[in-house]
Amino acid sequence: MSNIIKSTVAILMVSLYSLLQCSYPVPAEKQVIAEKPLLCADSIWYEIPTDTQQWACVKQLFLGMKKLKKIPDAVYEMKNLTYLDISLNNIDSLPPEIARLKTVRGLDVNYGPLKYIPPEIAQMNALEELGILYTPLETLPDEICQLDKLWYMHFNDTPIKTLPPCIKNMKHLKQLIITNTKIDTAEFRVLKREMPGCRIWYGTSRG
């Protein structure tokens, strides 16, 4: 057999070998599988999704009137949550774990037995609006003043007697509603004088 024929046969054999190699299935551990994008049907939820993959879709969560005694653990895993309403439940205190709610901009805990807010609320870095109406809450932690994005607070119809002195240093606070609390007129006048950039609603204390 001539050298030319031998070379041609060798080339054909190499080509056939390469073709057969390419036809073999790639081992599963070496396959690169593209992740399917998460499809979110809605961003507003009134129940916690049973599918944990859907937790990333939840941006606004309304859990009012669920007879809750605490914030469900699943809520802390919702990395895109911006608003949480847990009003009209049986929650008497907020846990230190609220520090994990880094993306929440609005929090409502109205019409319930809430008596305690932990210092860890200061770690809710994105919080802009806080509503605590018609609860037996009497005090606020000083750490609430560290929330430098908080512009709106509503404490209507709570027995709060005084606010943390550092409230006066919250230059970003634009609206403060303390109607029907036990805060006295003297403190209200000081707040009005030292917080000219904040609109304050004040009314007769109850009780």
Q: Which residues of 160-184 are buried (b: 16+ CB within 10 A; e: fewer)?
A: beebeeebbebeebeebbbbbbebe
Does 92 map to a domain? yes
Q: Give the whole-angstrom CA distance, residue 200 versus residue 18.
A: 79
Residue 27's pLDDT band, with cuts at 50, 70 and 90, is: low
- pTM attached to this predicted model: 0.80
Domain housing 91: 3-202
Does 137 map to a domain? yes
What is the chain's mean pLDDT, rounded?
Answer: 86
Q: Is 88 left (phi over 0), alpha (psi -120 to 50) or beta?
A: left
Which helix or strand (DSSP H or E) is residue 23 part of? Answer: helix 3-23
% residues pLDDT > 70 (the chain): 79
pLDDT for res 40: 82
CATH of the domain at 103: 3.80.10.10
